[in-house]
Amino acid sequence: MPGACILTGQGAATAYARDMWPFRKSVAHRVRTGAPWWLMHDGVGDAGVGLTETLRCDVAIIGAGITGALVADALIASGRRIVVLDAREPAQGSTAASTALLQYEIDTHLVDLVRLVGAERAALAYRACAASFARLETRLPELLPGAHYERRPSLYVASNEQDAVALQGEVAARRAIGLACEWLDGAVLEQRYGIRRPGAILSALGAQVDPLRLTRSLLSACGRHGVRVFSRCRVTRIETAGRELRLLTVGGAEVIANHAVVCAGYESLDFLAGEVAKVNNTFAFVTEPCAADSPTLRLPLVWESARPYLYARTTSDGRLIVGGEDVPFQSTAARDALLPRQVLRLTAKYRELFGADPPPIETAWAGSFAETRDGLPLIGTAPGQDPRVSYALCYGGNGITYSVHAGDIVRAGIENRSHELTDVFGFARLGTEASRERQKDRARS
């Protein structure tokens, strides 16, 4: 296959960089570069149905990735007519580029989140992420096995001695709100996992999944309950039309809806004024299968305290996925050009962490994603916009765990009900953050 190699370590990454294929420019190219493993493993699937005429519905969901699928699933029980629209084929945007490490651990440490949003909100956010595993397993018990869902512990590695001190304080903070985790010192860490670092937080709660399979299965199940999914249908504008909303598409077809939910990843920012999140690129590679007796296959989900951080997981067929080396988004062309270099850097970081080369590299890719200042999602209605338009912006490293809750939050808003997570996951907290920054500025002056 293009870009594959049969070498290991530095040689493998160098060969990969040398043999990079020309990238096919397409609508998918806006959010990802290269060949994501899930598309290679699961296939691109059959072509979906396009929208060619005006359509009416109760709820129009923009985005047929994992977030849109979970939101559609949550709304089925409301009895509303639901339509899902995607600019590509379902799940072939950011979902296909996701490495799908499912963790309750937010990119922002609990102790730091307390300072940003307050102790009550911070605890609520962490507990909600922790509860998402049981919630997902209860909602989709028949779909998860086929998507290779598997519980895995999570190992958060201190990159240096200073971070080790900070992470021991993080252990105490997590335990104080009822989250089970333990501290491993450097000797235990190396003996158990072969990782050469001063220590790590080991959490029993974590999981991994094939996001492409899960999304396709979930959308198929939604279809059996009347949800209609349309491909190659990019929504360019949402207009207020009296008591209804008009969604305008590139092809000229329109969708008339009572409510709209934007679940289009970082492309959702096209519908928002102001900078509510920044866009970064992340890079990843997948290896050839490891030896059957390789200790790599027994690794937890691994990530580290350095920023940008390295992260790693295994796949159902015994491969290793390594990712990270995030950089700010500049352009798709810059992302394309960076991929070979970032593969080399990921390989070097893996070697430094484990003291050995990774298995031979099979393929690599890059994806663009958004993240908020505090690492939390933005779910609900946006200030100054039509209240019938909701957003499920499940940004950062916890996208899927946030998405598990997004549908319930959105449904509560549509039904004019309160939801306990609206305060911490909603747009209103942005005003609180701005107020805190103004207070800090006044204090400094």
pLDDT at 31: 65
Q: What angle do CA 279, 285, 286 make, to 5 degrees?
A: 140
What residues does each domain of the chain span?
Answer: 1-25+278-371, 31-149+207-277+373-445, 154-204
328-335 LR contacts (CB < 8 Å, sep 24+): 328/278, 328/279, 328/280, 328/281, 329/278, 329/279, 329/280, 329/281, 329/368, 332/29, 332/30, 332/33, 332/368, 335/33, 335/281, 335/366, 335/368
List, for residues 211-254, the tens digit of each pLDDT value: 999 999 999 999 999 999 999 999 999 999 889 999 999 989 99
Q: What's the confidence (pLDDT) of residue 432?
A: 57
Average pLDDT over residues 82-111: 93
On the question of a common fold for 1-25+278-371 and 31-149+207-277+373-445, the answer reads no
| 270-295 per-position pLDDT tens digit | 899 888 889 898 999 999 999 988 98
Pairing of strands 101-102, 301-304: unpaired
Q: Are the CB atoms for 323 and 283 separated by under 8 Å?
A: yes
Report how far apart, in Å, the C-alpha atoms of 25 and of each of 14, 41, 269, 332, 336 are.
24, 21, 22, 10, 11
pLDDT confidence tier of residue 13, bands split at 50, 70 and 90: very low
pLDDT mean across residues, the chain:
88
Token couple for 55 = 């359509």
Residue with tokens 């070979």: 340
CATH number of 31-149+207-277+373-445: 3.50.50.60
pLDDT of residue 180: 95
Let me know if domain 1-25+278-371 sits in CATH 3.40.50: no
Over residues 155-168, the pLDDT tens digits come to 999 999 999 999 99
Residue 71 in 3-state DSSP? helix
| Contact between 187 and 199 (Cβ < 8 Å) | no
- What digits encode the pLDDT tens for the residues 45-79? 777 788 888 999 999 999 999 999 999 999 999 99
Give dist(CA 341, CA 363) in Å, integer. 14
> pLDDT category, 27, cuts 50, 70, 90?
very low
**Does residue 94 register a pLDDT over 90?**
no
> What is residue 30's predicted lDDT score, i.e. its pLDDT?
63
Extract the tokens encoding 73: 């699933």
Q: In this model, does residue 12 exceed pLDDT 50?
A: no
- C-alpha 299/C-alpha 320 separation (Å) is 10
Residues forming a β-bridge with 391: 262, 380
Residue 162 CB-density burial (10 A; 0-12 exposed, 13-18 middle, 19+ buried): exposed
d(CA 304, CA 155): 8
Q: How many Cα neighbours within 13 Å face the side chain of 87? A: 21
Instruction: Express the helix, strand and coil content of the chain in percent, nearest 5 each.
Output: 40, 25, 35
